[in-house]
Structures are given as structure tokens and as C-alpha cells.
Structure 1
């Protein structure tokens, strides 16, 4: 395994790297403020045709977000570089406007407002990541972006609860006001991303060229690498279902655990998760050989999923406290999920030396992932199951952990078999 430590002056972070890291983190935090802030409310005194309103709101938004992912397979993968900033502003502005509609519309129309809110937001990640991919330090840059998955989702909910508890803001008005607070920082972050430097020649040598992918290009990739990609998508779908369920019903989990009066837990328990996950994920930048880096990501995913299964069993037996279970469970779920964003898809494209972009890989996997997430939430709501939220999460963890571990082992075996008939390509800096 070839590892490079940034000790020389030329390897120190360029100011553009800092711009990209801060810009990506702030940009996606702004998106989360528009997408996730409504989850800070519980909406206990309101029903939607006899059904739990919050579940309907979550499903409605995720449906919009899911359709956005399917649109993104084409739109994001074909997006020209000079149009990215404009589209980011338009997409988030529309999402924020739909939160205003959510605040003022009658209850029966609020789910439709959240569906339209989620419809543009699913494409934000791909557009932001397109500034970061295909660079020698993509893992480091993507780690900053991925930090929002863990830290910002809890942070914006904390801000939402703070507005409700400290300022008496209503649950339906809170999401728009929260998004509005973050919007100026989002605009600044888009400017930062747009003024960052382009990929260098060294970036192109170490990673594959990144270009828009039309329909023929996408089909070419699937014909050449569809088997491994399909297995990776299955893993990603399960991770999305598990992570999304944990994220969407965090307030309910803490309530069932008897800690509903401590909203700061949603931020404080996620900080150690974020720090540990991002440190491990960003360390992939030190591995220059693309095959070794890819294997590193898969093996870490296997370890995490085995850990989730074992830890959940101990939690069920009362051997692990709720706080520690949520923290360690967060690490086990988020690390492989973020490795897909920071390393696995990026290094797969570099490993096979395919001229395209990660946007197509992400959005194919994300579209199917959110389809699965919606399916699980609908099953939980309409199956008449009396299983508690925290118990249902434990079941998902154990089932998903076992399946993911099995599929990851198959991926490693298939790639090892294919590599015997191909020369090993090691890209030097």
C-alpha cells in the first residue's frame, strides 16, 4: 500500500483547498437547514386523515428528494461546469420558498409543500461534489462535505428546537425561519466554490479525467463495470435506509429513551461521530494506489457492519447505555456511508480509468437508496406494527449489517478474480 505524507511545502494545503473545504461544508449545511429543519418538530397534536402527520411529512419530502435523485442521474452527470453555481442558488431558493408555503398552507396541503421542497434539493450534493471530485486530495475535500451528514443534521435541528423553545416560534413556521438564517451563508459558500482553482495536471494523472456523461457514456460504463457497480449500489441502498431512518426519527428515539428534555444531545452525540468518521475517511487521501484505497474502504465497511450487529445485540441485552449505543451506532452507520461519498465511488472510477464523473454513480445509487428508504417508512406506518422506533432501528441494523458484510466480501472476491487478468495500475504522484 503506497502512502504519501504531506510533509513538503508543495504538499501543504493550497488556499483553494481551504476554500473548497469551507465552501462545501457551508453550502451543504445551508441545504440541510432547508431540508432537515422541519424534523425538529414532532407535530403531535395534528393528524393527516387519521395518520401520524410527521411520518407523512417525512415520506412526502423523501418522495420529492427521491424523484430529484432520478432527475439528477441525467441532470447532474451532464451538467457543464459554468452552470453549477447558478443551479445551486435556484434549487435552494425554490426549496426555501416551499418552506414558506409549508408555514402558511392548511394542514392538508403541508405534505405537498414538503414534497416540492424536497424535489430540487436532491441535486445539491452532486453539484457541490462536482467541484471536489477527480483531485489528488478529493478524500480530504469530500470529508469536509460529508461532515454535514453527521454534524449539520443535528445542528439545524438544534437551531429549530431553540427557535421553538426560546422564541416561541410555531412548529410550522420554524423550518422557514431556520432556512432563512442559513441562506446568506449558503450564497457566500457558492461564491467560494465558484472561485476555486480547476483540476491540475497532477490531478488528472492520479485520477481519471472528469467530464459530463451522456446516455451513451453511461451505458458504456454499465456494460464494462455493471456487476461490481450493482453490488456497490445494493450496499449503498441498505446504508441509506439505515442512516435515513436513524436521522429522520432522531427526536423520537431520544423521546423513547427518556431524554426528550435534552435537545442538545442531538448535536453533542453527533460531534464525536463526525470527528472519528471524518478522520478515518479523510485518511484515504494518503493512499495513492487506487486499488488499495478502494479495498481499504470496503474492508472498513465490513468492520463497521459487523460492529453494528454485535453492538445492537449488546444494547438489546442492556450491556450498553443508550447514549453510547447512539454514538457508536452512528459511527458504524456513517463511516461506510461517508466512505462511499469520500472514497469508494471516487476510487472505483479512478481504478478502472473511466473518463466520466462520480455524479452518475452517486445518483443511480441515491435514487434507489431513497426509494428503499421511502418503502421502509411506508411499511412502518401502514403495516400496523406496534414496534417502537428504537426497536425498529435495531432490527434494521442487524439485518442490514449481515447483508452488507456478505455483499462486500463478494465484491472483493469478484475484483480479485478480475484483477488476475488485468495489469495492476499504480499511479505515482
Structure 2
């Protein structure tokens, strides 16, 4: 008896060690990979391009819009591409994408202003699907919650770090704001290629992974349409709310140096604030790995998101009366915004698929919400520049953040209610079917209407 107990204990210990090593390998590679994607995409946001105009408009706003336009088109293409991309083609996709991204940054530095701004379109186009590709390596596993949390926090820490490195390269190394992105990208490209290769060497999900998280498959056009229709009320709420979150996050990332007065502040302030935010989010999302119930995790995540968006709205609407210093304001805004944003970019849809045994993959959901979100970002930037070009950036951001937080709080609360009701009804139908089958009666649905969305 003692020998059997020891053998079971040793087997359990070996499994935990194997899981830990796998998390270090897969999670570390995923985190560093997307951090380097940011090094190819975001350093230009550290530059202000003061005094430069193009075609009568602010040069930086136009550069940002052009890059996001390329990113947006990539997201649209990605709805089909990422849903159908096979495992053996992922590395080729990564290598081509990062090569085009770096070439576009070289063109940005080499071409004359303002025409060099159009090179950034290809930078955005080449990198728009990278998140979905990297996430496809880690989804559908028992450890996906932790792996996705590590991948998700790369967005938070990389955003501030990319700006800080950009400022360092310009201020300390005296590299021009036009060549700075290409220099940083040159260091990122070979490292990203190596990490992409390491991700392709990850083992396939095990039988235990599939049992707990369900098998992940590609989706053709008909299957994507059927999936959306099946969960349409819920997905519409999430897509609308995420549109607003993506808009707010992108404006914060791209124009933070205009929103906050950097006089007297360290160029590493962004990285320092984002590091603290990263650790908090990693702890919150990582704790979800210890909860096996998928519906409990989904409800807990939506609860966190509602708390974050409500707080974000309160801070923004009461900015003048609260009199927060720049670092405290930035910390609260970043924490609330990224809890909400990263929830849907990391573990939410993985748990959603597992909860309702959906035949599909996370990439479809993430690319879709990103496409919708970046469409909103372009429209808001164009509206701000063309209709209200003289507005104060801090005032503009606080107004936008306040209303986004308010609307998202309502939308995510409704989403939570819908999700709980849908789960209860499906559980009741499943129990009824099992009861009839156990009594030897073939389940035909007599006396019980199938659940419809109008009833929910």
C-alpha cells in the first residue's frame, strides 16, 4: 500500500515538474515573442515629431492612422487566415511578417518626409496577425491560463518598454526619430525568428489537455458564421465593448507622451509603471489556473472587468477633483484598462470554448474583436484630428475614458447575466437528456422546447 502511495506521489510530482518546465518554455517564448513584435511596431510612438505637418495635418497623427490602417486590414484578412492557418505554416508566416516589418522601418528612415509615412502602412499590415499566430501555439492546454497570462502581460510591459527604449535611443544615442524604429527593429528581428522556431517545437496538446479544454480545430467560412449566430447576443455585446477598449488603449499607447507632461519625468517611467501593472495582472489571471470550473472563471473574469471599467470611468470623470499626480493617474488608468483589455486577449475565449465545447479556435475571436476595435481607433483619430484638432490631449483622453468605462460596465454586466443564463439552460437540457436516456427513452425533445436566444 505504501509503495502504491509513493508511486502515485512520485508520478504527481513528476507531472508538476513537467508542467512547470513546459510553462517556462512555452510561456517564456510567447511572452518574449510578442514583446519583440512591439519592438518592431511601437518604438515610433516615443517620438513627438514636433513642428512637422503633412498635407495640413499633424504628422504623427497621420503616421499613426496609416500604420493602424495597415494593421486593420491585416486583422480583417486574419479573420479567415488565422482561423484556417495550419500548424506547419506558422513559422513561415512569422518569418515573412517580421522581415516585411523591418524593411518598412528602414524605408521610414530612408525616404523623405512626409512621404515616408506610407512605409508604416506595410509595418502595420505585416504585424497585424502576429498575436493570433503566437496564441495558436499555446491554446487548448491545461496550462493555457498561465501561458496566456504571460503572453497577455507582454502587451502591458512591452508598451511602456518600447517607448522607454525609443526615448533612450534618441536622447542618449542621438539617433534621429526617423531611424530609431529601424535600429531597434534590427535587434528584435533575429531574436524573434529564433523564438518563433522554439514555439514550433512545442509538443501537441495531450489527451488530458483535450479532455479539460476541448480540441481546437480550424474554422471555414460556414463554420465561423454558424458559431457567431449561435452566440450572437453575447458576442455582439463583447465586440461592441471591446471596440471601445481597443480604441482607448491604442490612443493611450500612441499618444501617451502628449497626454502626460514628461518634463521632470524619467524616460523609464512608462516601463516602471507598466512593470507593476504587469505583476498585478499576472497574479490575478494566473490564479484562474487553479479553478477548474470554466463557468466560474468566466464569471470571475467578467466581474474583474466590470470593476475595472467602473473604476476607470470614476477616475476620468473626477480627474479635476481627485487631483492625482501623473504617475498615480497613469497607474490606475493602465491597471483598469489592461485588466479589461487583456482578459479578452488572453484567457477568456480559451475558457469560453472549453465551457461550451465549441468546435473552433481562440484566434478567430481575438482577430475579430481586434479588427472591430482598430476600425474604431482609425475613426476616432480622424474625428479628433479633423473636427477637434485643437483639443487638449489629456482632456480628450479623460472624456473618452469616462464614457468608454461607463458603457463597457453596462455591456459587460449584461454579458455576465446572459452567460450565466445560457449556461444554466444548457445544463438543464443536458440533465433532461441524460435522464431520458437512462430510463431507456430516446430523447426527442417532446415536452421540452429547445433553448432559443429569444427565450434567453
Classify the TM-score, shorter chain: over 0.9
Residue among 318, 342, 347 paired with 1:338: 342
Task: Spell out the pairing of 1:167-246 with structure 2 (5 A cutoff).
Answer: 167-246=173-252
Residue among 75, 82, 86 paired with 1:80: 86
C-alpha separation between the residues in 2 aligned to 1:393 and 1:34? 26
Counterpart of 1:317 in structure 2 is 321
Instruction: Work out whether 1:271 is the aligned partner of 2:275.
Output: yes
Counterpart of 1:4 in structure 2 is none
Pick which of 276-285 and 410-419 moved more.
Answer: 410-419
C-alpha separation between the residues in 1 aligned to 2:358 and 2:409? 27
Deviations 1:16-64 (A, max 9, x none): 3211111111111111111001111111132111211011101110110
Pick which of 218-227 and 312-321 moved more.
Answer: 312-321
Residue among 144, 152, 155 paired with 1:146: 152
C-alpha separation between the residues in 2 aligned to 1:392 and 1:47? 21
Q: Cα offset for 1:410?
A: 1.2
C-alpha separation between the residues in 2 aligned to 1:396 and 1:279? 28
Instruction: Work out whether 1:409 is the aligned partner of 2:409.
Output: no
Kindly tell me: are residues 318 and 291 of structure 1, through their superposed partners in 2, closer, same or farther at Cα, counting changes over 3 Å?
A: closer
Counterpart of 2:295 in structure 1 is 291
Q: Cα offset for 1:192?
A: 1.5
Counterpart of 1:165 in structure 2 is 171
Q: Is the 8 A contact 1:40 1:161 kept in 2?
A: yes
Instruction: Work out whether 1:371 is the aligned partner of 2:386.
Output: no
- Matched residue of 1:262: which SS? coil
Q: Is the 8 A contact 1:314 1:320 kept in 2?
A: no
Structure 2: state its 5+ residue gaps. 1-11, 432-456
C-alpha separation between the residues in 2 aligned to 1:113 and 1:375? 21
Deviations 1:257-299 (A, max 9, x none): x536521111111111111112112222111111111111111
Kindly tell me: are residues 45 and 414 of structure 1, through their superposed partners in 2, closer, same or farther at Cα, counting changes over 3 Å?
A: same
Pick which of 229-238 and 365-374 moved more.
Answer: 229-238
Counterpart of 1:3 in structure 2 is none
Q: Is the 8 A contact 1:22 1:189 kept in 2?
A: no
Runs of 4+ in 1 over 6 A off after TM superposition: none
Q: Is the 8 A contact 2:259 2:397 kept in 1?
A: no
C-alpha separation between the residues in 2 aligned to 1:8 and 1:314? 51
RMSD: 1.7
Counterpart of 2:436 in structure 1 is none
Counterpart of 1:355 in structure 2 is 359
Kindly tell me: are residues 87 and 260 of structure 1, through their superposed partners in 2, closer, same or farther at Cα, counting changes over 3 Å?
A: farther
- Matched residue of 1:210: which SS? coil
Counterpart of 1:11 in structure 2 is 16
Q: Is the 8 A contact 2:59 2:114 kept in 1?
A: no
Deviations 1:134-164 (A, max 9, x none): 1111111011111221111211221121111
Structure 1: state its 5+ residue gaps. 1-6
